[in-house]
Chain A
Amino acid sequence: MYLHPDLETLPRRDLEALQLERLRATVALAATAPFYRARLAAAGTGPWRIDSLADLRGLPLTSKDDLRQSYPKGMLAAPEADVVRMHASSGTTGKPTVVFHTAHDLDAWTGLVARSLYAAGMRRHDVFQNMMTYGLFTGGLGLHYGAERVGMLVIPASSGNSRRQVQLIQDFGTTALHITPSYALHLAQEVAQFGVADPRELGLKFAVMGAEPYSVGTARKIEAAFGVKVFNCYGLSEMNGPAVAFECAERGGMHLWEDNYILEILDPETLEPLADGEKGELVLTTINRTGMPLLRYRTRDLTRIIPEPCPCGRVHRRIERILGRTDDMLIISGVNVFPSQVEHVLMELPEVGSTYQIVLTREECLDRMTVKVELRDPAFTGNLAELHRLQKRIEHELKSALLVTCRVKLVEPGDIPPSQGKAVRVVDERGKD
């Protein structure tokens, strides 16, 4: 039932002793990176100030903007030769946020993924089909290696192409999927056209779902459609990726792996700590990462700690499914998008104004993003073909910057109401379920 019984069920006191030891080492290591050397010096603190876990509060917070400012290597704490992998998420203003991993880091991350999948009930005889995009995005490779470590046959199917996905499931006896909730709902409808009358005939048992927020209702719908158990997975590329927190077989919240991360829940306004059970912003510190340690990273995700112990016996505290964001980040088909990224692309295009509106809809269970942009008078020649070319060019530019396909709709100047914050910039017409 436990892949790492010593680390999953140790007494709280021992877990905290391990955390303290690892925190002290992490702060010492972080201080060798240019960013933290300056940041810790400015705050007048360092590893010598860490005598108890409560001393974490004296450390400065780290933001996504800090990561961007440190692009590409300002937060690297290991010798460059020791780095074996990087992952990146698209940047909000052109620069991506990059995370570097040493062999130790990948081993630790893979261990957490394996521990999570094992806790859900997957074993070496299972067949794991990973329908997440491989590449810089962490959902592909992260789950891939963890599933291999459990000993499963891993099918690196990547995303899309439903016909091939169904054929792989049938031909290789897939029992577990890693899939986004929106694609799962879409696939449930599509299988009929590939000769599968009922998705339950596919013989699936597990669905690991993360990358985008979803409700309990959506999870139950997918469970009913495929006859699977859905396991909620939390992660963010800054903290490695998936399996920062994961649901065990009890499925009553996600165990956040406290031997690798120290979690805090802060009031997003005052940044004061909140008691277990109160809803606030999740702030995480890596304590088992050597390539690029992050101290008190503001995830911008809203959740709460579930104070009651889990019947499974694991000591690691559970967090609630993500309840929202404290910034304007959008999640479109599992990809994180900031409205400022759209603005940045448009500012480079003289043919259109920088006033825009993002309209999000759902078609056949899949997210659709439409960006309305205002055509500027000097760019108009009266030629229809040129307008089409402009439209395609903007769609292409947005796709390269956001990594999400979107439709561009050219509108007349003045059509978009002047910006008064997020409410006008983004119209989200996707249903709650």
Chain B
Amino acid sequence: MIFAATSPFTYTPSLTDWLRIVPELILLAAALLTLLADLVGSPGRKGWLAIIGLAGAICALVATQMLWVGGSIGEAFYGMVNDDYVSLFANIVILFALGIALLFSPGYIERQGITHEGEYYTLLILAALGMMVMSAASNLMVIFVGLEILSLALYILSAIVTTRRRSQEAGMKYFILSSFASAFLLYGMALTYGATGSTNLTAIRTFLSSHGTFPLGSGFGPLLLVALGLMAVGFCFKVSAVPFQAWTPDVYVGAPTSITAFMSVGTKVAAFVGLVRVFFFALPSLSVEWQPVFWVIAVLTMIGGNLMAASQRDVKRMLAYSSVANAGYMLIAVATHTQAALQGLFIYLATYAVMNLGAFGVVLAIERRDGQGTTLDDFAGLGRRHPALAALMALFMFALAGTPATAGFIGKWYVFYAAMTGGHTELAIIGVLASLIGVYYYLRVVWAIYFTEPATAPLLVLAEEPTPEREPAATTTAGGGVALAEPATAAQPTTSTKVLPADRHTTHPATWLGLALAGVLTIALGIVPMLMVEWALAAAQTLFK
């Protein structure tokens, strides 16, 4: 199998192969369908593209569920992808994130005036597809292909607000830095191939285990060591671990919030699953070499991420750094390298997904037309202006801070528990101390929401970029005929280009639905997490042998 390339190679996919990637196929179909459906209908009325996407996500979720319960699972396409409990678990989280992001999108697109709706939805679905491919990959090449599908889609999505310079900057920055990291990863994969003679993860695993614990002296040892380092760099960049986190805040803040919500969760899932497939499954015999590396990175990420988040005043930026900090907790699991740690990692990914999507969802709901209005000052007094949004944000903040009876605590519990059973009590202690910093900056948002009053003067739009002309028009059309009769509203177009109060808009019903889903799950996973824990265990058992 390793030297299959030397003879003419043919492989005919069977029906079983196709059946095992049904969730991916459904999503691909949904993506293509949205692209076609974009051709009909007038601009600005493309909300039903989201419905197509949502239907695709739900069908894919059902397919995943059916595969989990009764389907035949295993490797497919000549060991290129592996449809196991790991990929199915990842599918569930990614599809959930996609569904929530799609629910957030129509209202946000409308408010932000994003013009390329068809491309937006198609690329969003394709990004999810890339994530699923990456987490199902059982071959280094397919991991890379999945990574590129999701990255390319996300580069464009980050820059899709054509009227906002910050968004353009985010896309460009992400593209350049991420390409650089992809190159590292690819080079690492190439060297691994050079050292082991295969890109198939199982083959690499078998090859290494048949060569003793660490074949340093066997000629290809240094090669493998360099490969290990390069791949670690590549993956750490993708999960935004310190010191490879520099792109995260700028990209997360610049990108449209619905996209940020999705990529902060989805990319983490795909990258971590890819990481554990490579390091836990293919390279366990080298764990002596890579475990200390991840130990150091985990500590740096936890401390660095939390400290940097604590000094932010923009909640969106704070959440970006918080995603760095959370990557640190997940890296504890990687550094621990036990089955319990792997289970903890999967649980953490799922719980982080629900609460982080929710948190970004509230930010998205209070964000102004110009993409501003997400600082702590804008959250001031939210408890009185929008009680429901405020309560949800408080819930997500408490959850992210790790309060028991929410999803956040279950994730932290399993990771710290695994670290301690795995003999890394010091990581658990550093983790809890770092999360104390987290308590400070998450609860500062709650402070702003409930303990302070809104600033009395209307907030001025900073002259960061020219305000698009369609905004006043949108205000009048949204206001409707009745509003036009009033002189005060008639005068609005002239003033609204300068002054935009933070709360002059209503939240789209779909956004509400997404927020409610995230909120319910944040509590449910905190109180009745049994099913998730069970699934995570099944996934961990598949991978950790």
User: Do the two chains bind?
Assistant: no
Residues on B facing A (Cβ under 8 Å): none
Residues on A facing B (Cβ under 8 Å): none
